[in-house]
Amino acid sequence: MIFMSNLKVTKLYIPEVLLIEHEAYSDERGWFMELWSEDNLKYLGINTRFVQANVSKSRYGTLRGLHFQMAPFEQAKFIRCIKGEIFDVAVDIRKESKTFGKYVNAVLSEDNFKSLFIPRGFAHGFLVTSKEDAIVEYFVDNKYSKDSESGIRWDDPQVNVIWPFKPLVINEKDFKLRNLSNIYEN
């Protein structure tokens, strides 16, 4: 665990994925929080330059993922849930990694002030666990490429993610994703 003046960083089972707990400063107006700074990221060994910010809104029980982009458009992601709550998952899809096919997860919510940094080489997805809609923002370090988008099934038995409950909403595109063992085939 790494402590800095305004955040606490935990390396998860797959140490390249970082769980970041932010400190919020509260007063009579509400609260203020620094989400990320280039200096803090560099101190943590993250030399990532974010080039795009995305926001999604999803209702209770929605599963998005598990998504990634193929080379040369891989993306590192910095994720925070700004409304509601999600069960967030990162799956190691780096073929040469000793943790290939393994996953880490974290609960991110508007109340817990946690973010997740996921480097390139991981599939990402989440399940909305709050009864209210979840709004998730994520910063990425590479542009979106429709031709490079890919993913693995949320219920792939090789990965065996233990979700809090069975998803209620999965779009057709995510439902048709392949298993991890097939993602590098044409």
The catalytic residues are: 67, 138
* Strand 52-58 with 134-140, pairing: antiparallel
Contact predicate 148/75, CB 8 Å: no
Q: Determine phi and psi for 173, rounding to 5 degrees.
A: -60, -45
Distance CA 44, CA 75 (A): 18
For residue 109, what are the CA distances in angstroms to 17, 21, 114, 128? Answer: 18, 11, 7, 10
Residues in the chain: 186
* Strand 103-109 with 85-92, pairing: antiparallel
Q: Determine phi and psi for 26, rounding to 5 degrees.
A: -105, 150
Q: How much of the chain is helix, strand and coil, in % rounded to 5? A: 10, 45, 45
Type of residue found at 18: L
Distance CA 99, CA 97 (A): 5
